[in-house]
Amino acid sequence: MISPTFHPTSETALIKLAKTPRSVLCYLSAMDISAFAPGRVELLGNHTDYNEGVVLSAALDLGISVEGSVNQGGLIRLESEGMTSFESGGTELAATGGWSDYPLGVLHVLRHAGYSLPGLEARYHSTLPLGAGLSSSAAMEVATGVLLMKSAQIPLQPMELAKLCRRAENEFVGVNCGLLDQVSSIFGESGHAIYLDCRAESVETVPCPPGASLIIVNSGVKHALTGGEYNERRTMCFDAARRMEVPALRDATMDMLNAAGLPDVVRRRAAHVIGENDRVLQALGILRAGDATGFGKLMTQSHESSRQNFENSTPELDTLVEIATSVPGVFGARLTGGGFGGAIVAMADSSTAEESSRQITTRYKALTGHDGAALVCQPGAGAWAANKLGTGKKGMTE
């Protein structure tokens, strides 16, 4: 398990203060809240969330840490290692197209929800690989959300926060994602998968099979959801539902689809989503029975459907899945998240998972020339915020 590397403590804060020139003292002393929001890995249920379907995911131990606080003066200053800082004193927030749109979007939607939040100073640090499809954007939104809640004492329920963060991404950043990423970052539980019903907006956590680990391998090929493919797939799913006269693809079955006579490409997109919903429902029983082999089979079927029906895989992701599923100790593998690049996730026997991951990356390098960074992990816990100098227990609503 890899832990986030940025956990400011009162001691490090005091050392920083002692060494800091006077001019920046008041900036540093404002950084009184620490928060963390994990990235997520989608386990099964690809592109089902915006079709009002069901998904299984897990939070990671990697994610985005932030230290900061709100202020009454109206100053907004956002910093992230290796990125251009954002600074503004204005009251109207506008997207700039940069990384700061994610925190600004959360500030924006919370202001619109009626909370008085004149200013925010925050410094972010990420342990998530960018563009790997592990939801660094949702982690940044949720980290900002829990920081704002803690700093301004905003009493949101976890699902309300997830929906506000999604709204920030939909309306401010301009990506029409579903609820999966934000929910996973908030509701994560160590050793558990997260089952999300996107219509009921309900969440349940289910233990992952004992003795199994997750292997995540980044293909090294950049994933950019702001590209048009995601929104194009979404539109085609809505079109398929409309043609079948159902409110959402959640309500369609394979029999209905086979009888509907849709154009081939629309039929294949819908078949993927309908199949994914079925696989998630099957997987619930399989997980509860602790059956890693059965779960792995569904993962590999899911990838095959992505490849053939949804066409959101890439040659690199296909190669990684092919290699992973031929390595001893791996139960199954699939692309994770939006697709069109990013990472695969595999379920593997914990006792040989490190060796399996080494074999996957070595063979991937030999076949494609790409360095596939691998991570062997267990599902991690959800987002938290705490007073930096406080002693209370960590917790989102603490």
Residues annotated as catalytic (active site), given as ranges: 181
Three-class SS state of 128:
coil
Q: Is 127 exposed, middle or buried (0-12, 13-18, 19+ CB in 10 A)?
A: buried
Q: How far is the CB of 336 from ligand GLA (least distance, A)?
A: 8
Pattern 334-353, ligand GLA, x by CB under 6 A: ---xx---------------
Pattern 104-123, ligand GLA, x by CB under 6 A: --------------------
Question: Residue 180 or residue 214: which is nearer to ligand GLA going by CB?
Answer: 180
Locate 345 and state its tokens.
């996730």
Question: Residue 233 or residue 297: which is nearer to ligand GLA going by CB?
Answer: 233
Three-class SS state of 344:
strand
Chosen residue from 4, 178, 380, 382 binding ligand GLA by CB under 6 A? 178
The interface region with ligand GLA, picked from 154-162, 174-182, 238-246, 374-382 by CB under 6 A, is 174-182
Question: Residue 47 or residue 279: which is nearer to ligand GLA going by CB?
Answer: 47
Question: Residue 272 or residue 388: which is nearer to ligand GLA going by CB?
Answer: 272
Other CB atoms within a 10 A radius of the CB of residue 266 amount to 17
Question: Residue 103 or residue 178: which is nearer to ligand GLA going by CB?
Answer: 178
Question: Residue 107 or residue 196: which is nearer to ligand GLA going by CB?
Answer: 196
Q: How far is the CB of 313 from ligand GLA (least distance, A)?
A: 12
Q: Under 8 Å CB-to-CB from 196, ≥6 apart: which residues? A: 49, 54, 55, 56, 57, 179, 180, 183, 184, 187, 202, 203
Chosen residue from 180, 215, 270, 292 binding ligand GLA by CB under 6 A? 180
Question: Residue 70 or residue 248: which is nearer to ligand GLA going by CB?
Answer: 248
Q: Is 333 exposed, middle or buried (0-12, 13-18, 19+ CB in 10 A)?
A: buried
Locate 169 and state its tokens.
């991404």
CB contact burial 206-235 (16+ within 10 A = b; e otherwise) = bebbeebbbbbbbbbbebbbeeeebeebbe
* Residue appearing with tokens 């593997």: 348
Radius of gyration of the chain (CA): 21
Question: Residue 65 or residue 185: which is nearer to ligand GLA going by CB?
Answer: 185
Considering only residues 37 through 96, tell me which ones interact with ligand GLA, judged by CB under 6 A.
42, 46-47, 49-50
Locate 320 and state its tokens.
């990684």
Q: Which residues pair with 195 in a beta bridge?
A: 56, 204
How many binding residues for ligand GLA (CB under 6 A)?
A: 11
Q: Under 8 Å CB-to-CB from 338, ≥6 apart: which residues? A: 47, 133, 223, 225, 229, 230, 312
CB contact burial 5-25 (16+ within 10 A = b; e otherwise) = ebebeeeebeeeeeeeeeeee
Q: How far is the CB of 133 from ligand GLA (least distance, A)?
A: 6
Chosen residue from 177, 186, 212, 214 binding ligand GLA by CB under 6 A? 177
Q: How far is the CB of 30 from ligand GLA (least distance, A)?
A: 32
Other CB atoms within a 10 A radius of the CB of residue 187 amount to 24
Rounded to an integer, what distance in angstroms lies between the CA atom of residue 172 and that of residue 15? Answer: 37
Locate 201 and state its tokens.
């907006």
Q: How far is the CB of 309 from ligand GLA (least distance, A)?
A: 14
Q: How far is the CB of 335 from ligand GLA (least distance, A)?
A: 10
Q: How far is the CB of 167 from ligand GLA (least distance, A)?
A: 13
| Closest to 388 measured CA to CA, from 141, 28, 2 | 28
Q: How far is the CB of 156 from ligand GLA (least distance, A)?
A: 20
Rounded to an integer, what distance in angstroms lies between the CA atom of residue 83 and that of residue 132? Answer: 18
Site of interaction with ligand GLA (CB under 6 A): 42, 46-47, 49-50, 177-178, 180-181, 337-338
